[in-house]
Chains A and B, each alone.
Chain A
């Protein structure tokens, strides 16, 4: 034996970052499938494009930073960032929205801060916030569920529209976009309507809605269409917890805090505040709880710290949704709590064996 022998432990479990990331991607599939079912092929095109851009940007940045490209890029973290960001972009947003957002997320939020493991802010959320602030119109033009579109766009029609802005002859983009349910609710509440009035108008069954030519925002228990997407993400997230890819603390604390906040205000004044179930199953709630807030790099690190971190996101989400300027609030809540991570980590450490917590 010639070289200095390696030190213990001499054996390793099969875990790897790549494996973790691939399992996260796998867990996104149910949510994605439901998303496509309700909102069409746009998301899949966005995801594919975002992943391509992200991987290319990652490769360029790694080589600029003189890091080994292949082992680092095969950790698949850039792919996860790209997919999460694509979920935050409206399915009919033009290609350059996705392109700019992904580039900003990978180059600025990730690599300029030192790459995987060193970025204090969730790259996907930084990309999303940059887009939301810079291109508010594109970023708030969501689509209603496909059965309320004048024409169900096929895969190619989606692709053509995203990359060229051309719709099939005789169709106008306005018919394809509307504000998201959370946004619509907020606008209507701002106009002085009560939740039940809004629900009476926008929560009707499909046939009546079609008859009255309104696009419903309320589904069975959450946002129209979004409720099932959230159920999909919930299923994937529970699987991740089961597989021990993520801990239960952040999702439980976040959903618990959001649920509690919305329940309190709902009980206080049901006319002005939507129900907890609506909040839990609208917008990006479940995606945030299981896939965004749980990004280990930017989250608090101890189990108790993660409870605080998750709860903070839940509370902030509710505050921003109820009184803030942005009806879906995940990104801001997550980024604000990212800022709080160092201090949470400092104050919430587990009790070390044989010590009385000093």
Chain B
């Protein structure tokens, strides 16, 4: 039910959570506008979870806006489209926004400034399409989760054969400090969000839709309430602000009281979550025929003078955006993609915006002070109190630090969502999440190595088996031959030698005879003599085989 401010839906709570200072107001004062077209766009082929896309255009090729440049490889993958018209100038490795700081395959585009669209058209009546076809259109449009994870969206909109989807949740929580792109989208384009919501709802045949927004965004709440007025199956639910409420499983708990099983999906309890930005992208894909080529990005932090949200073409270099918001690169102590709780620090300023870039936080030294020295854990349990998964980070820390990885897994290390609450509250300034990531990486490496060694072991065992088998077969053959009175290998060789000796002797004798004959009778031709030279008998078996 879409109701006014006095909505009475029951809400639940998840364990823990923190209330970091939010700094959201600074980037919501200016309206969203399109970012300037840069000189060069760099499109990584891997902007999502899953397999990277595979380029289908060549270097030097002219391309149109919205044209697919790289197609998905495999089920969990997403295509990449041209954000503008222009020329592909390079296909190769370029630095990408990734915690590793490594380079990855990218398409580089030089815009021609004409913004010429490829032929595209809206779906006339999506309700007439079967859900599978809708999903395929969403896949073709390159839409991935825009909340940060970048999981190909179409996969989530597949309820499978067994499930009825009770609740579709649109996630407009945006609990991370500094980030306001969803807030601004909800304020400025509620109809796009609603349009996408209807498409996803149709694809899932979901019964009710909830739009969850933290109560620190009253304008967004009002905007969506207005847009959904009269929609009986959609409810805008303001939820009390707490980090990390935007995390899917935590949000589902808050709204439904149900917990997604630790090793299951939201789907398993009849719930699907989608970010509001993703919904808007779905709307554009279905109702306008436009693939995902741009997104709202928050450019904020103490190092930019005019923090705001921009509608940014994918592939735009971040330093251009920082420049557009009057940023001072010299003041940037840490450049972060995402928020201060879960974002990652970038190693350079000219990296491209990708599908999962919700925020560029150009932080000064006073925004995000350098890490403080790590002191011993006093087991105060503040981390356990803050953990939204109800883990015992102090124990996990102990086991991770001392590489007791079995115990770490016993304490459900892999249920950690790396939200950062534990590190945030730790009075000893222990970078707990870092330890956990490290331990997870260690376990993955170990498992890979174990797998490798398992394969090697199996291969070795098979080889041993094969050698044994061949030996046994040879033995069996020999025994059989023996039983048949056949000759053994060695004896056969001996016989061959004997035969060869016999042949030579015969030849010699023959030659001697011949010579005698020639001496006796001069008339005989040489050729004939040659022909008559006796052939060695064909390996006549010896009568008595010897051992």
User: Which of A's residues lie within 8 Å of B, judged by CB?
Assistant: 1, 4-13, 15-17, 19-20, 68, 71-72, 75, 77, 115-118, 244, 247, 296-297, 299, 301-303, 345, 349-355
- Per the bound structure, the CA–CA distance linking A7 and B337 in Å amounts to 11
Chain B residues with CB under 8 Å of A13's CB are 18, 20, 424-425
- Decide if A301 touches B428 in the complex (CB within 8 Å): no
- Decide if A118 touches B376 in the complex (CB within 8 Å): yes
Closest 9 CB pairs of A and B: A5-B345, A9-B420, A117-B376, A354-B262, A296-B380, A15-B427, A11-B340, A353-B389, A10-B340
Please name 17 pairs of A and B residues whose Cβ atoms are closer than 8 Å in the assembled complex, sorted by A.
A1-B334, A1-B335, A5-B334, A5-B347, A6-B345, A8-B342, A9-B341, A9-B424, A13-B18, A68-B373, A71-B373, A302-B381, A350-B392, A354-B260, A354-B415, A355-B261, A355-B262
- Decide if A352 touches B375 in the complex (CB within 8 Å): no
Known A-B contacts A6-B345, A10-B340, A354-B260; A115 and B376 likewise in contact (beta carbons under 8 Å): yes
- Per the bound structure, the CA–CA distance linking A302 and B381 in Å amounts to 7
- Per the bound structure, the CA–CA distance linking A10 and B342 in Å amounts to 8
Chain A residues with CB under 8 Å of B384's CB are 301-303, 350
**Interface: B177 (CB within 8 A):** yes
- Decide if A7 touches B376 in the complex (CB within 8 Å): no
- Decide if A8 touches B249 in the complex (CB within 8 Å): no
Chain A residues with CB under 8 Å of B411's CB are 349
**Interface: B426 (CB within 8 A):** yes
Residue of A whose beta carbon sits closest to that of B394: A301
B 365-407 to A, binary, CB cutoff 8 A, 1 in contact else 0: 0001111110111111110110011111011000000000000
Partner of A299, one of B347, B379, B415, B433: B379
Chain B residues with CB under 8 Å of A15's CB are 382, 425-427
CB distance from B40 to the nearest CB of A (A): 21
- Per the bound structure, the CA–CA distance linking A244 and B391 in Å amounts to 19
Residue of B whose beta carbon sits closest to that of A3: B347
CB distance from A308 to the nearest CB of B (A): 14
Residue of A whose beta carbon sits closest to that of B18: A13
Chain B residues with CB under 8 Å of A354's CB are 249, 259-264, 389, 415
CB distance from B207 to the nearest CB of A (A): 23
- Decide if A352 touches B389 in the complex (CB within 8 Å): yes
Chain B residues with CB under 8 Å of A352's CB are 262, 389-391, 412, 415
- Decide if A6 touches B394 in the complex (CB within 8 Å): no
**Interface: B240 (CB within 8 A):** no
- Decide if A353 touches B340 in the complex (CB within 8 Å): no
- Per the bound structure, the CA–CA distance linking A345 and B249 in Å amounts to 27
- Decide if A11 touches B375 in the complex (CB within 8 Å): no
Residue of B whose beta carbon sits closest to that of A351: B390
B 213-234 to A, binary, CB cutoff 8 A, 1 in contact else 0: 0000000000000000000000
Chain B residues with CB under 8 Å of A351's CB are 390
Chain A residues with CB under 8 Å of B253's CB are 353
**Interface: B123 (CB within 8 A):** no
**Interface: B202 (CB within 8 A):** no
- Which residues of chain B in 338-358 are interfacial with respect to chain A, using CB atoms and an 8 Å cutoff? 338, 340-348
- Decide if B348 touches A1 in the complex (CB within 8 Å): yes
Known A-B contacts A9-B424, A20-B427, A301-B384; A116 and B376 likewise in contact (beta carbons under 8 Å): yes
Known A-B contacts A17-B427, A302-B392, A352-B415; A297 and B14 likewise in contact (beta carbons under 8 Å): no
By CB atoms of chain A within 10 A, which of B253, B260, B384 has the most? B384
- Per the bound structure, the CA–CA distance linking A11 and B426 in Å amounts to 11
Residue of B whose beta carbon sits closest to that of A67: B376
Known A-B contacts A71-B375, A117-B378, A355-B262; A11 and B390 likewise in contact (beta carbons under 8 Å): no
**Interface: B311 (CB within 8 A):** no
**Interface: B423 (CB within 8 A):** yes
Chain B residues with CB under 8 Å of A6's CB are 334, 345, 370-371, 431
Known A-B contacts A1-B348, A8-B341; A353 and B378 likewise in contact (beta carbons under 8 Å): no
CB distance from B179 to the nearest CB of A (A): 13
Chain B residues with CB under 8 Å of A247's CB are 381, 385
- Decide if B418 touches A8 in the complex (CB within 8 Å): yes
Chain B residues with CB under 8 Å of A118's CB are 376
- Decide if B375 touches A17 in the complex (CB within 8 Å): yes
**Interface: B33 (CB within 8 A):** no
Chain B residues with CB under 8 Å of A16's CB are 427-429
Chain A residues with CB under 8 Å of B377's CB are 117
Chain B interface mostly helix, strand, loop or mixed?
A: loop
Chain B residues with CB under 8 Å of A297's CB are 378-379
- Per the bound structure, the CA–CA distance linking A20 and B18 in Å amounts to 18
- Decide if A355 touches B415 in the complex (CB within 8 Å): yes
By CB atoms of chain A within 10 A, which of B411, B420, B437 has the most? B420
Residue of B whose beta carbon sits closest to that of A296: B380
Chain B residues with CB under 8 Å of A20's CB are 378, 380, 427
- Which residues of chain B in 49-64 are interfacial with respect to chain A, using CB atoms and an 8 Å cutoff? none
- Decide if A296 touches B389 in the complex (CB within 8 Å): no
Partner of A17, one of B15, B260, B378, B431: B378
- Per the bound structure, the CA–CA distance linking A79 and B379 in Å amounts to 18
- Per the bound structure, the CA–CA distance linking A13 and B260 in Å amounts to 29
- Decide if A77 touches B347 in the complex (CB within 8 Å): no
Chain B residues with CB under 8 Å of A116's CB are 375-376, 378
Partner of A12, one of B372, B381, B418: B372
- Decide if B378 touches A296 in the complex (CB within 8 Å): yes
- Per the bound structure, the CA–CA distance linking A313 and B546 in Å amounts to 92
Residue of B whose beta carbon sits closest to that of A74: B375
Known A-B contacts A8-B342, A9-B423; A353 and B262 likewise in contact (beta carbons under 8 Å): yes
- Decide if B20 touches A75 in the complex (CB within 8 Å): no
- Decide if A353 touches B15 in the complex (CB within 8 Å): yes
- Starting from the known contacts A8-B341, A15-B382, A303-B384, 7 additional A-B residue pairs (CB-CB under 8 Å) come to A9-B424, A9-B433, A12-B426, A72-B375, A116-B376, A117-B377, A355-B261
Chain B residues with CB under 8 Å of A349's CB are 392, 411
Partner of B437, one of A1, A7, A12, A75: A7
Residue of B whose beta carbon sits closest to that of A298: B379
- Decide if B381 touches A296 in the complex (CB within 8 Å): yes
- Per the bound structure, the CA–CA distance linking A72 and B428 in Å amounts to 10
- Decide if B20 touches A11 in the complex (CB within 8 Å): yes
Residue of A whose beta carbon sits closest to that of B389: A353
Known A-B contacts A10-B334, A15-B426, A301-B381; A353 and B388 likewise in contact (beta carbons under 8 Å): yes
- Decide if B427 touches A19 in the complex (CB within 8 Å): yes
**Interface: B336 (CB within 8 A):** yes
CB distance from A28 to the nearest CB of B (A): 18
Chain A residues with CB under 8 Å of B376's CB are 115-118
- Decide if B343 touches A8 in the complex (CB within 8 Å): yes
**Interface: B434 (CB within 8 A):** yes
**Interface: B274 (CB within 8 A):** no
- Decide if A353 touches B390 in the complex (CB within 8 Å): yes
**Interface: B99 (CB within 8 A):** yes
**Interface: B306 (CB within 8 A):** no
Chain A residues with CB under 8 Å of B261's CB are 354-355
CB distance from B434 to the nearest CB of A (A): 5
- Which residues of chain B in 1-27 are interfacial with respect to chain A, using CB atoms and an 8 Å cutoff? 14-15, 18, 20
CB distance from A224 to the nearest CB of B (A): 36
CB distance from B97 to the nearest CB of A (A): 12
- Per the bound structure, the CA–CA distance linking A349 and B379 in Å amounts to 14
- Decide if A8 touches B412 in the complex (CB within 8 Å): no
**Interface: B88 (CB within 8 A):** no
- Per the bound structure, the CA–CA distance linking A7 and B343 in Å amounts to 8
- Decide if B390 touches A350 in the complex (CB within 8 Å): yes
Chain B residues with CB under 8 Å of A8's CB are 338, 340-344, 418, 420, 433
CB distance from B29 to the nearest CB of A (A): 22
**Interface: B363 (CB within 8 A):** yes
- Per the bound structure, the CA–CA distance linking A351 and B389 in Å amounts to 9
